[in-house]
Amino acid sequence: MLQFLKLYAAAAAVFFAFDIAWLGYVAKGLYAEQMGHLTRADVQWVPAVLFYLVYVAAIIVLCVKPALERDSVGYGVALGALFGLAAYAAFDLTGLALLKDFPLKGALVDLTWGTFVTATVSGASVVIGRWLQAA
């Protein structure tokens, strides 16, 4: 259990660092332009933190653990990409299906980001998990 918590903490730190850089700097203008009409003036932090907690746990259980069992970073990246695409599609494709004025360009960028960041965090977490197992 301690190994899981260490791996979870490391994966959460990696995911959070990437996502803050993306949302706060790299794509901030794009999201404001594409989805600004849909956003709140103030972030609701409890659901945001709950998303990160649940999502990182799912990355560890569904992507990293199977990749560690196979001793394959590539497998972790592939599982992460698939999981990221599916998870972000749940939001973006539902938004396109149900929400008036949900932007296609914003959805496509978000789907791409979700796929990339989850694959990257999964692969990095496999590397970290190998290091933790050896320690």
Computed on alpha carbons and rounded to an integer, the radius of gyration of the chain in Å comes to: 16
Structural domain for 84, as ranges: 2-134
63-to-28, 89, 91, 133 alpha-carbon distances in Å: 28, 17, 20, 17
- Give the pTM: 0.92
For residue 31, pLDDT over 90 is answered with no
Name the residue with higher pLDDT: 24 or 84: 84
Element (H, E) at 25: none
The size of the chain, in residues, is 135
Whether 29 shows a pLDDT value over 90: the answer reads: no
Percentage of the chain lying above the pLDDT 90 cut: 81
> Are the C-beta atoms of 120 and 80 separated by less than 8 Å?
yes
pLDDT confidence of residue 59: 98
User: Cα 90 from chain centroid?
Assistant: 13
Number of folded domains that form the chain = 1
**pLDDT (mean) for 49-69:** 97
| 36: DSSP letter | G
The mean pLDDT of 51-72, rounded to a whole number, is 97
pLDDT band for position 36 (cuts 50, 70, 90): confident
- Give yes or no for residue 86 having a pLDDT over 90: yes
Do 47 and 122 meet the contact criterion of CB atoms below 8 Å apart? no
Q: Cβ contacts of residue 57 below 8 Å, gap of 6+?
A: 8
In this model, does residue 43 exceed pLDDT 90? no
- Whether pLDDT at 42 is above 90: no
Number of H helices and E strands in the chain, helices first, is 6, 0
More confident residue, 3 or 56: 56
